[in-house]
Structure 1
């Protein structure tokens, strides 16, 4: 098991135009997925904290304030949907995007049952890996718009 602590990315200096820079917690045990998401989100003016698994994610949640969580459904040391349930219980007002790279035999079928189950356990959105950067940004903007305290301004990014 990796003992790497959570990693918070520095604030991007180049485009500090907006007063609201959403802070996103990304919880996944795959370092390549974390790195790709982190780089993309930083380029789109988000603050990012990476947690390399469920336990690190829960520690991050105890010590930080987040506007949104992106949590992998299937990680070691957390059985499937347990991660979604626990993260939602610990921070019920923070929107959660569940993601999974679970392989399906029939790719043409409608949304798999695990996506519906994740939604029932508190996820605001679900993404199946691999997803496009546009799909990730759309899910994030939708969640942030729906959960804004001011009633939800239109999505800031395209």
Structure 2
């Protein structure tokens, strides 16, 4: 005897492997605590995160993988100041880049250059001054990704 309850059976969904449709973020910073905090927070918000512990490691990561966004510390050993921002932007000009810096000056009486503004001039999409809140990080990431998506080929912007 066959009983039909009248309920349509839902098609079985095939589970995608974790990360298959997640946006990929490359974090380049020589401070392991900063990297770990960013990685944990972003993974909880469904981003796939790759950590590079310095500029050279970050450039190697760019060679083999496509990223949706980069977060790069301005001051790291072996890459002087803005060289890293300039090089990352040259290698991947279409990927939004968030520059971050916690650089503090010992002498507050001398005028300090605006490093974050200089990073914007070298190709950064946004800047974050360390320390920043997790909400501030997520906000600038979402702004950068939305802007990049609106510039993607085939996307029509309504005004």
What is the CA distance between 1:113 and its match in structure 2?
1.2
In structure 1, runs of 5+ residues without a counterpart are 1-10, 153-158
The aligned counterpart of 2:71 is: 70
Query: Residue 48 of structure 1 aligns with which residue?
Result: 49
Matched residues in 1 for 2:91 and 2:156: separation?
23
Post-superposition offset of 1:55: 0.4
Q: Which residue of 2 aligns with 1:128?
A: 129
User: Cα–Cα, structure 1 residues 69 and 47, in superposed 2: closer, same or farther, change >3 Å?
Assistant: same
In 2, Cα distance between equivalents of 1:102 and 1:77: 16
Is 1:33 aligned to 2:64, yes or no?
no
Q: Residues 60-94 of structure 1, C-alpha deviation per residue, up to 9 Å, x if partnerless?
A: 00111000000000000000000000000000000
Structure 1 residue aligned with 2:103: 102
Could you tell me whether the CA contact under 8 Å between 1:12 and 1:45 is conserved in 2?
A: no
CA distance in 2, matches of 1:112, 1:151: 39
Shift in Å at residue 59 of structure 1? 0.1
Distance 1:151 1:125, change over 3 A: farther
C-alpha distance in structure 2 between counterparts of 1:92 and 1:82, whole Å: 15
1:84 corresponds in structure 2 to: 85
Q: Secondary structure at the match of 1:78?
A: coil
Q: If the length of structure 1 is used for normalisation, what is the TM-score?
A: 0.79
What's the CA shift for 1:112? 5.9
Structure 1 residues 151, 12: CA separation in 2 closer, same or farther (over 3 Å shift)? Answer: farther
Structure whose alpha-carbon radius of gyration is higher: 2
TM-aligned CA distance change 1:127 to 1:44, over 3 Å: same
Distance 1:97 1:40 in 2: 16
Superposed displacement of residue 12, structure 1: 8.9
Question: Deviating runs (4+, > 3 A) in structure 1?
Answer: none
Q: Which runs of 5+ in 2 are unaligned?
A: 1-15
